[in-house]
A = this chain, B = another copy of it.
């Protein structure tokens, strides 16, 4: 099932044919229920700020919002158009707003771990040379050179400030009437999905296949031959370019990350709950997450290096850190290329 090919011209002979708009309805309703549960949990834990529970609840909220939003996009003709068109940007706003705090926290953790790795020191007692260990908190700044320690302190200051702001923005958003309007709509979705006339009996596979086609077209446009050559040194090519904006070469990869996600959600709709995980597809998606995270961490290091009046040793450490994260970008592309090749071979 996991490897099933979404070809609408397949002969109508198997269980797969049973899939109709009903499956989409069930999927949306289940995600809406998850959304409401996460929201309740977030409200209960939010103010008391048991940081972990609250973060878990926010993650679950985002996860559900992304799936609802993605499915509304992929299966547009199956739903009431006005309702759907109104809903999607609101869900995108919500998950985007909720994602920022976590993103800044994860970025700081990634950069501090990298600084420790680059200093040959361990951020946590009993561990050494950890690349991306399961961090249980922000690593401390022991055993670093002056430059690395100062760079770490600078990044901590800047990213903690950004995180605090994102936290306030998220709290404001969750208290806003705009949010309550979204929550009301999701509550409605949990009990009754506004399917378009005849949608319940229509086959949703052509829409899923179209989502897959969009993904394949975007992947075909990626420089995968280069990405598959280890140490191709592409990711750092503009590492010292005068252009301060994020690397334009990353854009197509970020786009594929979003399309891969839509493809994955569409398959969730068709495969139903309990379908086996497609490991290469999951790995490919994780590689693109890592690509995005490393790309943004590299940009944060470059940004920090533009802080006025920093010491040369701090700037040097930030330069090493930037390059290190750009190589993570390159490594993530390599991993994506490898797992996508597997995915392509695995498909019938």
> Contact residues of A with B, CB < 8 Å?
115, 117-121, 129, 131, 144-145, 147-148, 230-231, 233, 236-242, 305, 310-324, 327-328, 330-331, 334
Contacts and interface: CB of A to CB of B under 8 A. Distances in A.
B237 A331 contact: no
Contacts of A328: 231
Contact of A316 (B119, B305, B327): B305
A320 B321 CA distance: 8
Interface centre among A236, A239, A241, A328 (most CB of B within 10 A): A239
Nearest to A244: B145
Contacts of A237: 117-118, 120, 129
Contacts of A115: 240
A311 B242 CA distance: 16
B305 A312 contact: yes
Contacts of A230: 230-231, 331, 334
A147 B305 CA distance: 11
Nearest to A327: B327
Contact of A242 (B117, B131, B145, B315): B145
B324 A239 contact: yes
Nearest to A241: B120
Nearest to A242: B145
A129 to B, nearest CB: 6
A319 B302 CA distance: 11
A330 B241 contact: no
Nearest to A312: B315
